Amino acid sequence: MGMWSEWRASRERRLRAERYLGTVLRDPSPGDLQWLQALGVTAERARRELAFGRRAVGLIVAERDALDDRTAADVAHLLTPIMAGEGRSDAAYGAEWAERWRAYTAALAVRGSTESPAVRLARVMLAGAGLTEPSAEALQHATRYVMDTRAACNESLREAYGVASLPEDVRPSTIGH
């Protein structure tokens, strides 16, 4: 591939990642903010934890559901300076994000749990908001937030990167063999 072709391919990947990030960086809805605040969480903490949850789910979707292995790296590469900029205005922000990201990835790595991955991610989000022993209703609402976020991110990923398609006579398990 020539230099011009590489540049065009890189630019196309960046534009697709930027389109996808539009969904990942969307502000939390007023309804979700009000719900979390009704549980005793401050407005700023609610906004931050919902944003952290959305970003974590967005990165997870880019990593697990993308057609190309480079997608997650492209998305993370564009998200990093945004997070760094936010961290400059609030010194604790970067450390909190790093802590929360470790918690989200650890929650996904759990094996043998009776809880679904969405419930485990919801628990991380609620714990970050200071709700370590959430009610069943709070956990259910947080799980719905995680699942709705994942669905929105998946839809955005398909819009930005396309949908996998195979001829009808080809089984996915035969690809690469």
**pLDDT at site 90:** 81
Between 89 and 153, the higher pLDDT residue = 153
Whole-Å CA distances, 64 to 6, 75, 99, 146, 157: 25, 13, 21, 15, 11
**pLDDT at site 86:** 83
Average pLDDT over residues 96-113: 92
pLDDT digits (tens, 9 = 90+) for 164-175: 665 676 665 666
DSSP-assigned states of every residue in 70-136: HHHHHHHHHHHHHHHHHHHH-HHHHHHHHHHHHHHHHHHH--S-SS-HHHHHHHHHHHHTT-SS--H
Average pLDDT over residues 42-59: 95
The confidence band for 125, taking pLDDT boundaries of 50, 70 and 90, is: very high
**pLDDT at site 103:** 96
CA distance 83 to 94: 7
